[in-house]
Amino acid sequence: MSVSLPLAVVRDGALRDDFPGLVNADGSPWHYLDTAASAQKPRQVIDAMARALGKDYATVHRGVYTRSAEMTLGYEAARRRVAGFIGGREGEIVFVRGATEAINLVAASWGGANLREGDRIMLSTLEHHSNIVPWQMIAGKTGAAIDVCPLTEDGRIDLDWLEANITPRHKLVALAHVSNVLGSVLDARRAAVIAHSVGAKLLLDGCQAAPRMALDMAALGCDFYAFSGHKLYGPTGIGVLWAREDLLAEMPPYQGGGAMIERVTFARTTYAPAPQRFEAGTPMITEAIALHAAIDYVGALGPDNLFAHESGLAATLRDELRNLNSVRLFGPDESAGIVSFALEGVHPHDLGTILDEEYVAIRAGHHCAQPLMDALGVPATARASFGLYSDESDIAALLRGIERTLRIFA
Ligand SMILES: Cc1ncc(COP(=O)(O)O)c(C=O)c1O
């Protein structure tokens, strides 16, 4: 097995040393292949979070004292950093709890204001439940209906089918930029052109793309983009909704409370402009500051390098798995760093349990994509997903564990 890793620092272990979570209690390396679920955190992020919770801590926006003013500057600097990272503008960045909340916000606010009986929403077979259920909920309230774009044979969203079947009744298209199960990468630019050709808006679920590839909102041409901080090497409890400024300006608030108002009386309340209108209550202050540190970390390595590094590992793993007769592989040959597979006669949960004994962590299950499992004709898959700290030793440990599992079940 040989693979050329663009991130040379991974090879000599220097980068892995930044991640305290990658070591077992006995000091041995933990082969963490579940980064698509949540990424391990570098010390830089942990330290930023500790500082923000410790000596720098105060609330934002409200205080007249210096510490609060400084925290407010830190919180808004995080918004600017996110905007710079994805090629957006500060006013287009709404801090939310995660991608799930971002999509629920768009469905409830934009969907509630714009969808009517007879309208249609286009999803795809490979969507995560977070990009299905919010649309079912708003469809139920508004009378809109949902259509599902199928996949190509190798597991990509079939944009030829989309182009042939989209109609002016479709008001919204919501697709995963990178599949959390198959690793397939959407041609987002083409999806935007197709959606806009009938006047529909395009929401991209960027949960698996934001940690793995360079993003530029203007170049993508979408209308909404959602992702989570914890998959981008930042903390849990924070995520980002990017939305075009003109759309945000017209969207009604999602939640009511402090910080999102201009003036409150019992007779009438007026709201703050976006993005504050969508950030009701005390925000995720320390999480935003730690997300800033995570983006600095990823930004210094270069998102294009991360993509090349992880997709190289995914290609290597696919080649190795193909050599084992009893493995079924899902998804396209070229993908982001996510590989789903099944071993003949072995339930993915059994594989996951045996691998755990060897300090290898994979994900086994439906990956919050039950309609995709139905389409693949399996109840579950095993999934290995790479991060910027992954290397060949993780693949070697996984293969040793798979071979042992196959011997046990033979
Ligand atoms: C493609 C995709 N969309 C949405 C989500 C939901 O993210 P979160 O649970 O962080 O809100 C995930 C998480 O696994 C995901 O992989």
pLDDT digits (tens, 9 = 90+) for 77-109: 999 999 999 999 999 999 999 999 999 999 999
pLDDT confidence of residue 352: 97
With a 6 Å cutoff on the Cβ, whether 385 touches ligand 1 is no
What is the 128 CA–ligand 1 centroid distance (Å)? 7
Tokens encoding 16: 């892995």
- 380-392 in b/e form (b: 16+ CB < 10 A) is bbbbbbbbbbbbb
Question: Which one has a higher pLDDT value, 135 or 12?
Answer: 135
- Could you tell me if 19 and 41 are in contact, meaning their C-beta atoms sit under 8 angstroms apart? yes
Tokens encoding 410: 């033979």
With a 6 Å cutoff on the Cβ, whether 383 touches ligand 1 is no
> In this model, does residue 3 exceed pLDDT 50?
no
Residues assigned a catalytic role: 368
> In this model, does residue 55 exceed pLDDT 90?
yes
In one letter, which amino acid is 393? S
Cis amide linkage into residue 20, ω under 30° from 0 = no
pLDDT confidence of residue 2: 44
pLDDT confidence of residue 6: 58
* Geometric angle at alpha carbon 212, from 40 and 184, rounded to 5°: 120
> In this model, does residue 279 exceed pLDDT 90?
yes
pLDDT confidence of residue 316: 97
pLDDT tens-digit readout, 137-146:
999 999 999 9
With a 6 Å cutoff on the Cβ, whether 316 touches ligand 1 is no
**Ligand 1, atom 7: nearest CA belongs to which residue?**
99
Using alpha carbons, select from 285, 262, 177 the residue that is nearest to residue 226.
177
pLDDT tens-digit readout, 205-257:
999 999 999 999 999 999 999 999 999 999 999 999 999 999 999 999 999 99
What is the 98 CA–ligand 1 centroid distance (Å)? 8
107: how many CB neighbours lie within 10 A of its CB?
26
pLDDT tens-digit readout, 303-357:
999 999 999 999 999 999 999 988 999 999 999 999 999 999 999 999 999 999 9
- Could you tell me if 86 and 136 are in contact, meaning their C-beta atoms sit under 8 angstroms apart? no
- pLDDT band of 9, cuts 50, 70, 90: low
> In this model, does residue 8 exceed pLDDT 70?
no
- pLDDT band of 11, cuts 50, 70, 90: low
With a 6 Å cutoff on the Cβ, whether 35 touches ligand 1 is no
Which ligand 1 atom minimizes the distance to the CA of 236? 10
The distance in angstroms from the start CA to the end CA of the chain is: 25
Tokens encoding 10: 């991974």
- Could you tell me if 177 and 188 are in contact, meaning their C-beta atoms sit under 8 angstroms apart? yes
What is the 99 CA–ligand 1 centroid distance (Å)? 6
| Euclidean distance between CA atoms 241 and 98, whole angstroms | 8
- From 97, 208, 236, 335, mutation site for ligand 1 pocket: most ligand atoms within 8 A of C-beta: 208
Residue for token pair 């991209």 = 204
**Ligand 1, atom 12: nearest CA belongs to which residue?**
207
| Euclidean distance between CA atoms 84 and 70, whole angstroms | 21
pLDDT confidence of residue 187: 98
What is the 183 CA–ligand 1 centroid distance (Å)? 13
**Ligand 1, atom 16: nearest CA belongs to which residue?**
180
What is the 1 CA–ligand 1 centroid distance (Å)? 32
Quick one: average pLDDT of 111-130?
98
Q: Is 407 helix (H, G, I), strand (E, B) or coil?
A: helix
With a 6 Å cutoff on the Cβ, whether 104 touches ligand 1 is no
In one letter, which amino acid is 130? S
